[in-house]
Amino acid sequence: MAYILSNQWLAKRRPYWDRLQALLGQADSAGLGRLSRAELQEMALLYRQVAADLSVLRQDATARTYAAHVNQLLARAHHIIYAGRKTSIAGLFRFLRDEYPRIFRRNLRYVAASLLITLACGVLGMILTSTRPDFMRHYLHPAMIATMERHQMWTQSIVSVAPMETSHIMTNNLSVCFATFAGGITFGVYTLFLLFVNGMELGVVGAACHHYGMSLSLWSFVAAHGSLELPSVILAGAAGLRIGHSMLFPSGYRWKDSLAGGGIEATRLVSGTIPLLVIAGCLEGFFSPSHAPVWLKFTVGAALFTLLNLWLFRPARERQTAGETQ
């Protein structure tokens, strides 16, 4: 039965092979950099679809000529798609300056969901701790509570070992963010769990410090590095939710194609948190626990948060090409 429909199947699939060949020709003649983002995404999708076609062609002994042609196309596409690209400082700067804000805005609904979940859990933690102060003892480490009972910040020890502690802080923050991002592969469940834990911890610590009259000490410590660290966790959560959504709602795509597309987009979204976490780690290790004036810490935090929003929401020139428009 499959062989009777073979001609119809070939006629239906040949335009996809021709389109992939045309894109490969453009890349060979003008360079990969001349292709638009939409054309690059189309090439990657066609590569996976044509690879599936090849497996079908190989089952039909009469289609060897077509199989050889498609196999050659795939070899060329594989070289272009998976070839190692040299990353330059200038290229990284252009990505962060121009492309990343567009990636952020495309995924704004996931960012909003991640933010709302974190805030809701933070409010829940504050309410539980404020109404039942003993709740903090089930959530926070006893040593941390002991320092608050002495009206001391548990962060004072960081100053004496700032260089080593800074490295530890960066590693820990990166681990938290990438765990939140990777949790999307569990259909977003683990991402939601980590957002719940982070939000609850923030709310419980805030309410506990208020209970002991240490709110100013806490928020002056958090202000500088938290203006970048907390948004990074939100972005990582958004990336995880993006993966989870692509797994649960393929939207007409094959499941693996939806997951691949969502994974690529989520990876690009979470990549922007790396420079933010590096800066935040340096501030948390050296500046936040220092004896700098409180007003200066809040000023630095406000300035960094303002710059962050100007970067993410700044108007960018969208490159309109025929491929992107289509």
pLDDT category, 318, cuts 50, 70, 90? very low
Nearest-5° angle of CA 133, CA 135, CA 141?
105
Question: Between these two residues, 39 and 132, which has the higher pLDDT value?
Answer: 132
| Mean pLDDT (whole number) for 267-285 | 91
Q: Are the beta carbons of 311 and 304 closer than 8 angstroms?
A: no
Comparing CA positions, the residue from 324, 183, 166 lying closest to residue 240 is 183
Is residue 321 domain-resident? Answer: no
Is residue 109 domain-resident? Answer: yes
In terms of DSSP H, where are the helices of the chain?
6-30, 37-57, 64-82, 89-94, 100-106, 108-131, 135-139, 142-149, 162-182, 189-211, 215-248, 255-271, 273-282, 294-313, 322-325
pLDDT category, 259, cuts 50, 70, 90? confident
| Cα 176 to Cα 172: distance, rounded to the nearest angstrom | 6
Instruction: Provide DSSP, 219-282.
Output: HHHHHHHHHHHHHHHHHHHHHHHHHHHHHH--TTS-HHHHHHHHHHHHHHHHHTHHHHHHHHHH
Boundary residue ending a domain (43, 59, 85): 85
Is residue 180 domain-resident? Answer: yes
pLDDT category, 20, cuts 50, 70, 90? confident
pLDDT of residue 284: 86
Is residue 91 domain-resident? Answer: no
Whether 222 and 124 share a structural domain = yes
Read off the pLDDT of residues 284-307 as tens digits, 9 standing for 90 and up: 888 888 889 999 999 999 999 999
pLDDT of residue 276: 94
Amino acid type, 237:
G
Boundary residue ending a domain (30, 58, 85): 85
Whether 175 and 225 share a structural domain = yes
Domain coverage including residue 223: 96-313
Q: Are the beta carbons of 312 and 235 closer than 8 angstroms?
A: no
Tokens 């990777």 belong to which residue? Answer: 182
Whether 20 and 131 share a structural domain = no
Read off the pLDDT of residues 145-167 as tens digits, 9 standing for 90 and up: 888 888 887 766 554 444 555 66
Whether 260 and 115 share a structural domain = yes
Q: Is the pLDDT of residue 122 over 90?
A: yes
Instruction: Provide DSSP, 26-40.
Output: HHHHH-GGGS-HHHH
Is residue 325 domain-resident? Answer: no
Whether 284 and 164 share a structural domain = yes
